Structure 1
Amino acid sequence: MQLPFRFAVNMLTPGSADEWRTRCRRAEELGYDLILVADHLGMPAPFPSLVAAAAATARPRLGTFVLNAAFWNPVLLAREVTTTAALTGGRLELGLGTGYVPAEHERAGIPFLPPRERVDHLTRVVEELAGALAGAEGTPRVGLTIGGNGNRVLRLAARHADVMAFSGGRFDGDAPTVLTAEELAQRVEAFAGFEKETGRPVPAERNLLIQRVLVTEDRAAAAAGFAAVVPYLSEEQVLELPIVLIGTVREIVDRLHALRERYGFSYFTVLDEAMEAFGPVLAELRGRAD
């Protein structure tokens, strides 16, 4: 069964209170379903930013995308979640991941653990937050998003997550590389297998973080320009990358439908630098039945 589309903008750019409110209102005007905030040093702090976004808007849901679990003690995080859920009127969705930037850990004075230990900590955080996510009596439950690509994270998400967020990339040492269309398909297939193992009655929603939105009449030229960022891929492979949307508005709309059909992605996140460029795509989709 195909889920209806949801679209989010991930707000990465700091600004004044007025600038923040203006951008959040603009996201609502453009039709985004969610306003998200990341968890990186040098970017807006997640929870106060979401409370401010809630005060500036009425409709979009609000979420973290995604918290670096290594930065958070589960007990203190539970307090942040319950307070933010209350102050946002029950519009909060919590996203969690293992964290992947060693330099941020060094700046924060927090050890950057090996992958296994980072997943262990993420698991503990997810399990200890169960009560906070359930909500107090009479308050909405907080939806859980888990982001990542490795098998242990996929298994964790299959057991606990409402949304599985696929990044479409990985870190080989300190160097990020993107997953090809075939590699991402393998990750999605693995996740589907883990879900079947759990016997969960309702599959998780599948999210994909879009890294570039290039609205253009010349797909080949745009792909050639992006190829400099991923020199290990051919132009054809670039055009097939699920994390890059290249083409006219209509071509991008068709591409989103194709991604939902092939991978089951129904929830897409774009970066704030693409918020305006993606706006006409949203408008076209809203005028066309899902």
Structure 2
Amino acid sequence: MTLDLRIFTEPQQGATYDDQLAVAQATERLGFSAFFRSDHYLAMGDRDGLPGPTDSWVTLAGIARETSTVRLGTLVSSATFRHPGVLAIQVAQVDQMSGGRVELGLGTGWFAAEHAAYGIPFPDKRFGLLEEQLEVVTGLWNTPVGETFSYSGAHYQLTDSPALPKPVQPRIPVLVGGGGPRRTPALAARFADEYNQSFPAIADIGPRITVIEQALADAGREPGSLVQSVALVAAVGQDEAEFTRRAAAIGREPAELREHGIAGTVGEAVDRLKALEAEGVQRVYLQVLDLADLDHLDLFAREVRRQLG
């Protein structure tokens, strides 16, 4: 299996819909398998975030109508942002609008400041919310047409839902990630099609895959039945000068990028990706932080991906 490369963006740092559309269309044109975006409402660090946040599922709905083959999803939507009944409707509708190209990444949420900024409740304990959201969303999608879905949990109650609309895909792929030692792997083994490690230490990636494979075995699932993915920052240049320029454009130090991401020259990026594949990684989300630099995507497609076979 050839390593699957996807493009992942952080629009809360400052991007319009048109900025994101340009990246999504370049992602499709250059042959990457998917365009994913974060689900945040507030810029991080010292960025002002202008012109302001864009909602992930509103954005993906628009992009769904202006692309034709690239897959679309979130890394990851926060369980605190939407009621699961509403989320199931939104994602199923975008799946219809895209002709069946949507994937749902779902997590607990972690950024307290964005919740305070927009008046969104942010409870201390959120794992139960995530677990029940996965039960509700997948339960609604899996209910046969003509039947109803009811659910009674600690956080959510649904009564005789018609469980509509239905996605185009027989099963929308669900992505779960997180670093918990027991509960998160068990949750991924129960609900997910993909497990994602977001910005891990490189040395931790292989051992974490071993933990997830054990969770699959404990759940009675086949080995390798969960796609193993990582999200890492990307900054690559044809030569050292171009790499250094790209590092400066995103406010990062070259040495730090080399340590933690897919970074450096083309050869270094290829070596890092091949090493990840040897550890059992099947899919890499390339975190692209300069959305105006479409030449960066072209370099990955033309030089880096070509050398992966």
Q: Output the TM-score relative to the length of structure 2.
A: 0.75
> Which segment is superposed worse, 94-103 or 77-86?
77-86
Work out whether 1:122 is the aligned partner of 2:130. yes
Cα displacement string for residues 112-154 of structure 1 (whole angstroms, at most 9, x for unaligned residues): 223xx21111010011111344487793121101122112222
SS of 1:270's equivalent in the other structure is strand
Q: Say if 1:210 and 1:271, in contact at 8 Å, map to a contact too.
A: no
Quote how far apart the aligned CAs of 1:163 are.
1.1
What are the superposed Cα offsets for residues 178-224 of structure 1, whole Å, 9 maximum, x if unpaired? x43333433333222212211212421122111242326449x96xx
How far the C-alpha of 1:238 sits from its partner, in A, is 6.4
Unaligned stretches of 5+ in structure 1?
A: 169-178
Q: Please give the residue correspondences for 1:1-290 in structure 2 after superposition, counting only pairs within 5 Å.
A: 2=1, 4-10=3-9, 12=11, 13-16=14-17, 18-42=18-42, 43-114=53-124, 117-134=125-142, 139-140=168-169, 141-151=171-181, 152-168=183-199, 179-201=200-222, 202-215=224-237, 217-218=239-240, 239-241=258-260, 244-273=261-290, 276-288=295-307, 290=309
- Counterpart Cα distance in 1 of 2:143 and 2:237: 41
More helix by share: 1
Query: 1:285 and 1:132 mapped to 2: Cα distance?
Result: 41
Secondary structure of 2:122's aligned partner: coil
After superposition, the Cα gap between the structure-2 partners of 1:269 and 1:229, relative to the gap in structure 1 and judged at 3 Å, is closer
Q: Distance in 2 between matches of 1:134 and 1:272?
A: 36
Pair 1:252–1:286, CA change in 2 (3 A):
closer
Q: Which moved more, 1:7-16 or 1:30-39?
A: 7-16
User: Do 1:9 and 1:27's aligned partners in 2 also have CA atoms closer than 8 Å?
Assistant: no
C-alpha change, 1:82 and 1:26, in structure 2 (3 Å) is same
Are the structure 2 counterparts of residues 121 and 276 from structure 1 closer, same or farther at C-alpha, using a change threshold of 3 Å?
Answer: farther
Percent identity, please. 26
Q: Distance in 1 between matches of 2:143 and 2:104?
A: 12
Give the Cα separation in 2 of the matches to 1:20 and 1:267: 19
CA shift at 1:158, angstroms?
Answer: 1.9
C-alpha distance after superposition, 1:75-102 (max 9, x if no partner)? 1111112211111111110110111111
SS in 1 for 2:168: coil
Please state how far the C-alpha of 1:261 moved relative to its aligned partner. 0.8
SS in structure 2 at match of 1:211: strand
Cα pair 1:38 1:66 within 8 Å, conserved:
yes
CA drift of 1:11 comes to 5.1
